[in-house]
């Protein structure tokens, strides 16, 4: 494939070089050369740009699929998605808020952070959490952490310190107290009993 249309003039230049260095059937080569496809650099750049757009699209779809899988995986750790029925606008706001919380509960997020995501005041968001889910904002985050902790504790190869860290606790002792206050037994006993 060439960037300019094959011509007799161009072929003559090629022929001069080939005659010096090899024994090639020039007549046959001329026929092949003159029938060769041609593409302009502009057209080639268009094709390259289209391929790049397609690649970007595929990457974006993969990122969205990964995010969706993470959300589904995280929801598997919690019954929140089952207990909240998203029928109206308020419930849709809470669903968006819960999606954000589910993705970020291991970080230090505040009610104000979430309220900025859903574009309502923190006080009203707090009211909606209680109204729609029956739980406070902190209660939702705590439930997510407890459910995730229970699942992680089922794996004896993951130590308590790592579980605490993964759930956003800087201190394993505090995590142990938190878990005990919510589940009424320590993480060590929970793991030993294999709930």
Residue 83: per-residue pLDDT = 46
Residue 46: per-residue pLDDT = 79
Instruction: Fill in the DSSP letter of residue 88.
Output: S
Instruction: Fill in the DSSP letter of residue 107.
Output: S
Please name each of the domains of the chain with its CATH number: 8-38 (no CATH), 77-193 (1.10.10.60)
* Separation CA 63–CA 41 (nearest Å): 33
Structure tokens at 172: 């394993």
Residue 110: per-residue pLDDT = 93
Residue 195: per-residue pLDDT = 59
Residue 194: per-residue pLDDT = 73
Of 69, 91, 66, 89, the closest CA to residue 80 belongs to: 91
Residue 87: per-residue pLDDT = 55
Which DSSP string corresponds to 110-130? Answer: -HHHHHHHHTS-HHHHHHHHH
Render each residue's pLDDT in the chain as its tens digit; 195 residues.
556 666 776 666 666 666 666 667 777 777 776 777 877 888 878 788 888 888 877 887 777 777 767 766 665 545 454 444 445 788 889 999 999 998 998 888 999 999 999 999 999 999 999 998 899 999 999 999 999 999 999 998 999 999 999 998 889 999 999 999 999 999 999 998 875
* Separation CA 78–CA 115 (nearest Å): 22
* Separation CA 29–CA 25 (nearest Å): 6
Residue 96: per-residue pLDDT = 92
Give the SS3 label for residue 2: strand
Residue 38: per-residue pLDDT = 78
Q: Which residues face 38 on adjacent strands?
A: 2
């Amino acid at each position: 494939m060439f960037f300019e249309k094959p011509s007799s003039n161009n072929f003559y230049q090629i022929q001069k070089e080939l005659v010096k260095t090899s024994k090639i059937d020039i007549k046959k080569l001329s026929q092949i050369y003159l029938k060769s496809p041609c593409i302009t650099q502009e057209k080639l750049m268009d094709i390259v740009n289209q391929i790049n757009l397609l690649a970007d699209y595929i990457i974006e779809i993969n990122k969205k699929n990964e995010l969706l899988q993470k959300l589904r995986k995280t929801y598997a750790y919690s019954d929140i998605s089952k207990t909240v029925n998203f029928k109206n606008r308020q419930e849709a706001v809470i669903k968006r808020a819960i999606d954000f919380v589910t993705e970020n509960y291991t970080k230090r997020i505040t009610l104000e952070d979430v309220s900025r995501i859903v574009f309502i005041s923190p006080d009203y968001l707090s009211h909606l959490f209680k109204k729609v889910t029956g739980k406070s904002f902190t209660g939702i985050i705590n439930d997510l952490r407890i459910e995730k902790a229970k699942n992680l504790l089922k794996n004896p190869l993951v130590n308590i310190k790592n579980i605490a860290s993964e759930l956003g606790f800087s201190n394993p002792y505090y995590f142990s107290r938190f878990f005990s206050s919510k589940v009424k037994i320590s993480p060590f006993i929970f793991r030993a009993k294999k709930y």
